Structure 1
Amino acid sequence: MASVKVAVRVRPFNQRELDMGAQLIIQMNGKTTGILNCKANTRDESIRYKEFTFDYSYWSHNDKSENYASQERVYNDLGREVVDCAFEGYNACVFAYGQTGSGKTFTMMGSMDNQGLIPRICKALFDRMAENSKRGTTHRVQVSYLEIYQERVADLLRGRDSTSLKVREHPKKGPYVQGLTTCLVANYSHIQECMERGNANRTTAATNMNDVSSRSHAIFTITFVQAGYCDGVPSETVSKIHLVDLAGSERADSTGATGQRLKEGAHINKSLVTLGSVISALAELSSEQKGEKKSCFIPYRDSVLTWLLKDSLGGNSKTIMIAAISPADCNYGETLSTLRYANRAKNIINQPTVNEDPNVKLIRELRDEISKLRALMFCEQRSDMLAQLHEKEAREKELTEEWAGKWREAQAILREQRALGLRKAGPGVVLDSDRPHLVAIDDDPLSTGVTLYHLKEGETTIGTEEAEVKQDIELKGAGMEPKHCTITFQNGVATLIPHPGAQVLLNNCVLESPARLSQGCIIFLGKAHVFRFNDPAEAAELRKGERTRNLSRLSLLSWSTPDLAVSMENLQSNVDEDKIDIELQRQNLEKEKELFEKEQEEFEKKQEAFEKRRKTLEKAQALLEAEKDVVKKEHAEQTRQLQEDWQNLSAQQRRKEQELEQRERELIRRREELEKERQRVLGEIDLEYDTIKDLNAGVLSKFSKACQLITSNANEITFPSAQAKKLFQDLVSKSENFALSEHENDSLIDILNNVQGSSIIQDLVEKHRKELAELQAELNRRVQTLCERQRSVELLDKKIVDLVDEQKSMCQQENKEEELENLKSKLSQRTVEELRRIEQKKQGLTLNLKRINSVQSPDSCEVNYPSSEPRTGTLSSDTYHTAPDSCSPVPSGAKLDYIMSDSGVELRPSSRPHDDSDLSSNEDRVIVSDSQSTSSIENRSPVSKKNKRRETDLLIRRLAQRITQQKQIIVRNLDNQIPKNHLDSQIAVLQELQRQYMSLKYGCTSSLSPASEHPLQDIDSPSPIRPLHTGSTSALYSPPLQLQNQRLALYNQSLYRSMPSIATDTDCDSIVSITSFCVRGAGSKTHYEYEVRICTSDDRWTILRRYSRFRDLHLAMKTRYRDKVSSIPFPSKTLFANTEAVAQSRKKQLELYLRRLIDACKSHSACPLAYGGPITKAALISFSPFFRKGVFENGKYGTS
């Protein structure tokens, strides 16, 4: 037994690949061939780089390389072994496989200057035959050349004939082609001529991959027979060498094949797929399992190619496969397929045996037995043994003489065939003699053969047997003389010399003098003999010089037998002799007629039986044709219907795509317009904010100037009493360093209302009051304008959200709902942030005005201004008199976002990070001033306030727990793809809970402007849009908008504070969840993969992981974090793991394990998750690559 030898050869870049800028992806090192996938982004080298090991790896990419493999090296490694197999009596087969344009034909045939394997093998075969012939060995070589084109066999040596040959199978010899031309060749030039003739007839065409692409499989078969004596024992072996050049496997998109080329490619791929199936089946059959081979069906007859190569694949042959590959990255798929194809072929085991003649084998066995008997006779003399010895010797001698006689006859026939140049051409035999000769044209209807007479060098005499000197050519018949004529052949010139009185005609002209013979001359001798003269040398010269001669008059078709008979009768001179001859012929014909009638009767009986059989076959054929027509019609109708359906579907798809594109363009245009409007409104808001800020600064300045004026002119002003003056001075000095309480502000205002001064000072005070009133009116107008701008911003945001909803409905038709939901989410989040920042700016610009009622003076207002240092947490307030009726009254019963002390100081809750993130915490306490509050809000008893606070804290804790639960419910509904209306109702419940939480914890929002019901009052309420994680919001937000958001963020530094947001840190239970599992693989590689959904604070994704990946994660975490992970239970391996029950139980266990793992590792200082805050995607992937999504993981049908 011997395995198939496999060699791989890589060719250089062709011009097409150079124009494309192709990259080299093939590497070879010794017998190893590697292929690199340049387009793969994975870090796993086993996916990007694959290696294969073969018997030979030939690097023919660069002829300047040290490891360059030339045609000669390929022949020395592979071809010499084929020649050795032929002389040893083994069958051999060499075939090249690869995609179209990969260099198969060049490897097998080569070029004129650089020959391939087939010419080199043939030349070496004849060179070695010449050496062996000197030692008495006889050889016989026959060749045939066929092609398999569209599963039909054509004879390449017969010429371009459309006739398809049939493949038959002999019970002993195996498959063969009926009527295939077999040429007997004597030297290398003859076999080279056969190859050139066959290659000229081979079917080729141009494709995008190759200008001269072989469109058929070609098989060049050499039948080699050698006979001789080896140590006195006859030896005869027969070897068949199949040299196969396969057509290239091709893809229609790469080759650009259409029409006939596409049909050819389909047949090529069919035969190659069958060849691959045979190779795979043989490889599986060759693998042993428990000492016994598997039983496997080999589909040889599915293709003509595999049927003819049946012996070469897993049979009686030594086989070599050459895989030709391309080095370019654009052919990565075909190259990898070829390497896998060749890798499977390595496993095929053939069973080659020596093809020896049975008689020769019997002779050798007899010789061995005779030797054993003689050895026994030497030790013991027995009569029966002696008789047995003589019998075997006689038998051996008889068989040897019979074999020698057979080969003597065969050698003589071989010599004659070589001289005559007989060769088989399909069903006929062609005569290719290289010597001048005469071909007899017999008029006898009973004649069944063709007679040929060679002309020797010198004179060739023609006569009858009655001549005194034996004639070279003896003829019988009327009109023949004993010495009729002579033909001389000297220096390549033949001359016909008639003897006197002989009847000789040359080309229907009577010849009486010597005449030169030329190719195709017709010679009449006597009355019954006609010959044609052939001169191969002259015919060859005519063919080479492309000269034509008018041989129509010499053609045999123009000379029918009756015409010749008439010509003979006109030349008859002796009628009596003719009658005698005719009578004799008549008698002979009578005898022949009787024999003919007997044969005719037998023939008629056979003819009747044949007719019956023929009629039966015709009926069966008619039925088959009818069924074939019905099947064809049904197939045509189904094909037409499928084409119409496909065209309709294609038209609908194109129409829908155009509508979607048009709608998308319209949405983008509307979005851009809304963005521009939004930018304009935000710019106006910024201008309004700057103006209000200037107004605040002006009010503060006027207030300071009024205080300074009264203080500087205290001597000119009359106070009600000295005690009032002293109290005024104390309060003014105290206000310079500390904020006054509300009671002190009231006292200061009462004193100022009762003071009197000079008219100048009084006028100045009135002037300041009027200016303050005007500033307050302007401030109220600006706040109103700011509210209106905010409404327009909200309207624009609502339009943008509507656009996002519309774009989401469009993308739902294209299965992109999740991306548009993410767009909507990010837009909603950004809108909420902008509204919150604007609200914070409004809070920073709020005026706390208190009307001062006096009998003598009109109303006045009290204004609270932000401190110059926002981090101190205090708000300084100054009290002053305002102009009459300049400010409208502002309700003061509502609570502000911050609790105000009796002295007007604003008290903030603690700003520790954990207080902002814990909803259920009750540690947000406000330090209350010791002074007695005059506000109606604080006019409660301490006991009632303490009980109320406890009830409020309990309600806050419950609301926080309900909000957390509601969030988890919404997250699970998102994962389970709940309908949108149900999801909206869940979000509405969450919004209501959040609003109640904010109302209980921070109180009702205050009125910030005369317009008491504006959208900014509820700015901290949650957005009605559920945040989704996507990266496609770049289409909705342009860079200028992002810059505007940065500017809004900078304004927050001047604001007091923002409402503490509800905690959004995702717990471990909502980070990872295993929703389902699916079955992957086939056969023994079947396994379950679990769908793991991950939701972090910044992204959400899904991965598919099998159980082994979970186990690898567990081992890696145990090595890194040791005891923290070792204590976490992990599901162990079980028997019969590939069952649904085991997978279902593992699903829950693995989900619980992942959650416990993340929770345990968060407390480890070296863990990337231990930095605090919400878990992000980057931190989770840094924690373990297990959570990274692979390149091909696009869903349940990806790979893990």
Structure 2
Amino acid sequence: MASVKVAVRVRPFNRREKDLESQCVVRMRGNEVVLDQSNSSLSTSTPRGAHQFQHAFTFDFAYWSHNTTVDEFATQSKVYQDLGTDVVENAFGGYNVCVFAYGQTGSGKTYTMMGSEEEDRGLIPRICKALFDKMNASTAQQSGSTFRTEVSYLEIYNERVKDLLQRDPSHSLRIREHPTTGPYVQNLSRHLVVNYNDILNLMEKGNSIRTTAQTNMNDTSSRSHAIFTITFVNAGFSEGIPHETVSKIHLVDLAGSERADSTGATGQRLKEGAHINKSLVTLGSVISALAEATPGKNRSSTKHIPYRDSVLTWLLKDSLGGNSKTIMIATISPAEVNASETLSTLRYANRAKNIINKPTVNEDPNVKLIRDLRDEIDRLRRGMSLDPETLAVVQKELAAKEAQERTLTEEWTEKWKEAAIILKEQKALALKRTGLGVMLDSDQPHLVGIDEDVLSTGITLYHLKEGETFIGTSLTNPDIALKGACLEDNHCRIVLKNGVATLIPFEDALCMVNASLITSPVKLSQGCVVVLGKTNMFRYNDPKEAASMRKNNDFLNKQGEDLMNRSLLSQSLSDLRNTNRALTTVDGKHHLSEGNIKEIDYKQSVLELISETGVETFPQTSSNEIPDNEIMSAKSNFEFEPKESSSRDQEKLSPSFGANSTGDEVDELYKLICHQKEVIMTCLESDQCDIQNLNDEIVKLKNMQEEYTKLEVSSMKKLWRSVHFTGNRFSDDLFDSFDEKFDALVEQEVDRRLFQDRVLKSTESIARDKELERIKRDQQMLDLQRHHEKEIYLLRKRLHEFQQVNSESPPVTSSQTRLPANISIVQYQLKNGSHVEYKVVIWTPEETWTLERRFRMFRDLHVAMCHKYNALVQGLGFPSRRLFGNTSETVAAERQHQLESYLNALIQKCALQRECPLYNCFSGYRVAFVKFSPFFQPP
């Protein structure tokens, strides 16, 4: 047994008390707290003696945080060293712990529990950090322990419970009471955390939606009670013996007691205050009842403890007089204007220190049984030096105990191995909460699914293993099984070698990387988009390559836009992004032409132009260079006269290219294109975007771009013709050849794109035809299988009738027949948030019936069959038990297929045994199944 530890903390004067020039009426001597009103100006209104205005109380801890100039000033760190370290030690020891702060509104409860800045952190964040620091230290020492930590956060507002960590919290949660573990909140979310930052993020999220309001006593008064719960599991081996403890740490921030005349509360604030005071009065009644029920008191009649009179006391039932080590922190104001509330709080705390709790180590019962068996085995071994008759009995008992101990240890070890794998995967996926969002990251190369299905609400992530990863349909049992149109059974493979991933498509497989059709091996780079078939789209992520790119700032600046453009979401969006990139390029040319064209290296421009057009104007020299005198002559014609006015320069160099109206058309069209882009992006961001309108707008944008490109080319030609080369002996031939070359290049590009479209459509058509053929073939196989089963059934029925007529005929052995029944698990459903029920459909030639069974019933069936048929059933591969995640979507889906395979294998195996009710069963299937096991009893 252990009594409740009580600490009292005095805060500094607040602004209101300073404005009222209140006196300090609280003193501390060691752990003694004295409330002295003898010299208070308020005491003169009462005719009683001064000695009645002094009240002294002794507590476990007393903290003077009123004046920072004295040596006894208690910091946040001091409070944690005295109280928080015990919380961490008890949690590792397997005890439940509760810390709650009580006091009037504005007395410093939330500051003590939560704190403010980094250096002024409160008890809750300091306890959480110390908890993870100790876990990390234990892991670094390779102590063999495994830890699992979950948190939940709730508030009690107006006697209703609200989950502060839910995406859409509501005050509709109900409280239930388990006969063993005590009260709990039904459907309260529990979040797995792997480091201290995860807890901080969840705490900040909960605090951001907690109910607060301004009153006369406090600008940010808490209008609700908040309970932050940490569930901490510690398991491992110590000297060859397993150990597993579960502790719950309840960190409670209570709303302050208040008086309506002091707080100035009206309306909703007054209603909130009434509910707050009701729960606190009930808490006081519980504390008083528990204090009177201490072991030293007369217990002739059992006193009723009113736990259920309020939601707060019901949830804290174990923390007050139950299985918990509890710490109460009473926060008080030193001001004389709050003397009555301070006295009430001190009396409250003085009663609480008389409460006796009964904390026990929360140890796994199987682990305790294993330890007891070890002790019993040691005792039996010590007693083996007996007479021969007794020795035989002892040896038999010893063998049974050792077998039982070995089985329990193996089951416990298997359970924690699975838990360790789950925790490892959780850390590998690195689920990080960023604000209100969650960031999914991994340290291995992987594919992230980009699902266009509006009904999809999750994210699919496929890790790529070292070596080959095969992708296809489920028919070929690949590493990654996909579904969708134009998907081959063996579609492609990804080879990961030395951190480099290469996608290799199989023959006739439709594969695209960054919107480009591929038929040969392609190296995957960070951020590229992979499309397999027509409906499966993924983004490839390589964490190492991404980290290298982040370090190289120059490369990131140059390629940032391209990386963004390569993050395609669909084929239509990819066209839009390509359009935007083309507009960006044209816009760059538009601004480049406004620069000073005199600074261009003319010699290099002429060489590039001649090289591209293939025109040989100058006589060839041995070095393939243009004579310097010709270049200088052309350059002299190219340069402007320096004395020309700036307006004339601008007229020559602007995109308008002189008085020609083409420049105005280009500018006007450019503005229209920008406006059209905004229209399309607005349509994309809208929740009610019409696909047909969106496609029309995109087509309109493409037409405008084509017109803009034509005007741009025409303007550039006019610029080249109008300046610099006029009068030169090679200008006409040069530009005639340039026009021809440019037109040829345009035609070649158009032909290339048309050819690529034809190839893509042809590939899609071939893939579509193959898909239809495969579906047709599967349907034919299914029809053939059903027809075949029907014929077998009729043959068996005739054979059975023939056996009844002619009993001398040799019966058909069970090895020659197969039970004409099939079992399917068509779906599963989470029931009451506690377990998963599977819908089992049993098909026989006579009838079909449906069952709903939970996993425990499947396991009971397996145990019963093992006892009855021994080795025949033990090798069928029943799904193993899980310590955590039994109600998760992943585990339920995995078990659905495993249990279906197990049931079908079970009935076919057992139907071959003569003692089985299913042996040579040709009619009355339902009765035979029920005789085989009550598991198959229909509802």
Inter-partner Cα distance in structure 2 for 1:598 and 1:376: 53
Match of 1:120 among 122, 126, 147: 126
Paired residue for 1:579?
A: 772
Secondary structure of 1:579's counterpart equals helix
Distance 1:422 1:46, change over 3 A: same
Distance 1:89 1:511, change over 3 A: same
Matched, 1:233 2:236: no
CA 1:255–1:504 in structure 2 vs 1: closer, same or farther (change >3 Å)?
A: same
SS of equivalent to 2:226: strand
Displacement of 1:94: 0.2
* Map 1:39-188 → 2, pairs under 5 A: 39-41=42-44, 42=47, 44-112=49-117, 113-133=119-139, 134-159=142-167, 161-162=169-170, 164-188=172-196
SS at match of 2:188: coil
The question of 1:387 aligning with 2:396 is answered yes
The residue number in structure 2 matching 1:411 is: 420
Structure 2-normalised TM-score? 0.56
Whether 1:324 aligns to 2:342 is no
Q: Corresponding residue for 2:205?
A: 197
Inter-partner Cα distance in structure 1 for 2:313 and 2:9? 23
**Structure 1 residues 257 and 465: CA distance shift in structure 2, 3 A:** closer
- Identical pairs, percent: 57
SS in 2 for 1:339: helix
> Offset of 1:92 from its aligned partner?
0.3
5 Å-filtered alignment, 1:1000-1149, equals none
Uncovered stretches (5+) of structure 2, i.e. residues with no partner: 551-555, 574-683, 692-759, 787-821, 827-838, 853-939
* Counterpart position of 1:371: 378
Change (3 A) 1:371 1:486: closer
- Contact residue 511 and residue 519 of structure 2 kept, 8 A: yes
**2:490 and 2:506 in contact (8 A); partners too:** no
Please, which of 257, 264, 275 is the counterpart of residue 249 of structure 1? 257
Distance in 2 (CA, whole Å) between partners of 1:340 and 1:260 is 30
User: Aligned partners of 1:309, 1:252: CA distance in 2, in Å?
Assistant: 27
Q: What is aligned with 1:275?
A: 283
CA distance in 1, matches of 2:65, 2:523: 63
Partners of 1:575 and 1:203 in 2: CA distance: 58
The CA deviation string for residues 46-85 of structure 1, in whole angstroms up to 9 with x for no partner, is 4111111111111111122122111111111111111111
Structure 2 equivalent of residue 1147 of structure 1 = none
Aligned pair in 2 of structure 1 residues 351, 499: CA closer, same or farther (>3 Å)? Answer: same
Given that 1:517 and 1:533 are in contact with CA atoms closer than 8 Å, whether structure 2 keeps it comes out as yes
Describe how 1:655-670 pairs up with structure 2 within 5 A. none
Closer/same/farther in 2, CA of residues 386 and 460 from structure 1, 3 Å limit: closer
State the Cα distance separating 1:138 from its structure 2 match: 1.0
State the one-letter code of the partner of 1:406: K
User: Could you tell me whether the CA contact under 8 Å between 1:480 and 1:527 is conserved in 2?
Assistant: no
**Structure 1 equivalent of residue 8 of structure 2:** 8
CA distance in 2, matches of 1:108, 1:434: 35
Unaligned 5+ segments in structure 1 are: 562-566, 607-1200
Q: Deviation per CA, 1:72-107, whole angstroms, max 9, x where unpaired?
A: 111111111111111111100000000111011111
Q: Return the index of the structure with the highest Cα Rg.
A: 1
Mark the CA change 1:388 to 1:481 in structure 2 (over 3 Å): closer, same or farther: closer
In the TM superposition, residue 43 of structure 1 has moved relative to its aligned partner by: 6.0
Distance 1:458 1:397, change over 3 A: closer
Aligned residues: 592
Return the alpha-carbon distance in structure 2 between the equivalents of residues 594 and 358 of structure 1: 36
CA contact (8 A) 1:83 1:121 kept: yes
| Larger deviation, residues 500-509 vs 65-74 | 500-509
Is 1:313 aligned with 2:320? yes
AA of the residue aligned to 2:151: V
Contact 1:36 1:49 in 2 (8 A): yes
Which of these residues, 349, 353, 356, is aligned with residue 363 of structure 2?
356
- What is the identity, as a one-letter code, of the residue corresponding to 1:40? S
Matching residue of 1:33:
33
Distance 1:605 1:138 in 2: 39
Per the alignment, do residues 249 and 397 of structure 1 end up closer, same or farther by CA in structure 2, a change over 3 Å counting? Answer: same
* Alpha-carbon distance in 1 for matches of 2:171, 2:763: 47
Residue by residue over 1:1150-1186, the C-alpha shift from the partner in whole angstroms, topping out at 9 and shown as x without a partner, is xxxxxxxxxxxxxxxxxxxxxxxxxxxxxxxxxxxxx
Q: SS of the residue aligned with 1:209?
A: coil
Residues 931-987 of structure 1 show CA distances to partners (whole Å, capped at 9, x for unaligned) of xxxxxxxxxxxxxxxxxxxxxxxxxxxxxxxxxxxxxxxxxxxxxxxxxxxxxxxxx
Distance 1:602 1:268 in 2: 58
Aligned 8 A contact 1:54 1:343 in 2: yes
* Two-structure CA RMSD over aligned residues (Å): 4.6
CA distance, structure 2, for counterparts of residue 148 and residue 312 of structure 1:
17
**Structure 1: distance between partners of 2:190 and 2:94:** 20
Check conservation: 1:96, 1:245, Cα contact below 8 A. yes
Give the AA of the match of 1:150: N
Q: SS of 1:573's equivalent?
A: helix
Give the 5 Å matches for 1:875-954. Answer: none
Report if the CA contact (8 A) 1:101-1:213 is conserved.
yes
Deviations 1:1061-1109 (A, max 9, x none): xxxxxxxxxxxxxxxxxxxxxxxxxxxxxxxxxxxxxxxxxxxxxxxxx
Distance 1:84 1:20, change over 3 A: same
2:130 partner letter:
A
- Return the offset for 1:533: 5.9
* Structure 1 residue 318 displacement after superposition: 0.5
- Which residue number corresponds to residue 687 of structure 1? none
Cα deviation for residue 260 of structure 1 reads: 2.3
The one-letter code matched in structure 2 to 1:101 is: G
Question: Residue type matched to 1:326 in 2?
Answer: S
In the alignment, residue 101 of structure 2 is paired with which amino acid?
A: A
Q: Contact 2:492–2:503 at 8 Å: present in 1 too?
A: no
1:453 aligns with 2:646: no
C-alpha spacing 1:54/1:449, structure 2 compared with 1 (3 Å): closer
Contact in 1 for aligned 2:125/2:200 (Cα 8 Å): yes
User: Contact 1:463/1:474 (CA < 8 Å) preserved in 2?
Assistant: yes
Question: Contact 1:285–1:293 (CA<8 Å) still a contact in 2?
Answer: no
- Residues 527 and 568, structure 1, Cα contact 8 Å, conserved in 2: no
Paired amino acid for 1:125: L
Partner letter of residue 294 of structure 2? Answer: S
Which structure has more relative contact order (CA 8 Å, sep 6+)? It is 2
SS at match of 1:286: coil
The alpha-carbon distance between structure 1 residues 588 and 269, as it changes in their structure 2 partners (threshold 3 A), is farther
Q: Write the letter of the residue equivalent to 2:54.
A: Y
Displacement of 1:461: 6.3
Pair 1:603–1:312, CA change in 2 (3 A): farther
**Residue by residue, what CA displacement relative to the aligned partner does 1:255-302 show, whole Å, maximum 9, x if unpaired?**
122222222222211211111111112112225444x36412222222
After superposition, the Cα gap between the structure-2 partners of 1:464 and 1:166, relative to the gap in structure 1 and judged at 3 Å, is closer
Kept in 2, the 8 Å contact 1:506–1:524? The answer is yes
Q: Distance in 2 between matches of 1:16 and 1:310?
A: 37
SS at match of 1:571: helix
Q: In structure 2, how many angstroms separate the alpha carbons of the residues matched to 1:331 and 1:253?
A: 13
Instruction: Measure, in 2, the Cα distance between the counterparts of 1:448 and 1:173.
Output: 34
- Post-superposition offset of 1:156: 1.7
Cα deviation, residue 166, structure 1: 2.2
- Residues 187, 9 of structure 1: CA spacing in aligned structure 2 closer, same or farther, 3 A cutoff? same
Distance in 1 between residues matched to 2:768 and 2:352, nearest whole Å? 81
- 1:147 maps to a residue whose letter is E
CA distance in 1, matches of 2:265, 2:454: 56
Change (3 A) 1:574 1:103: closer
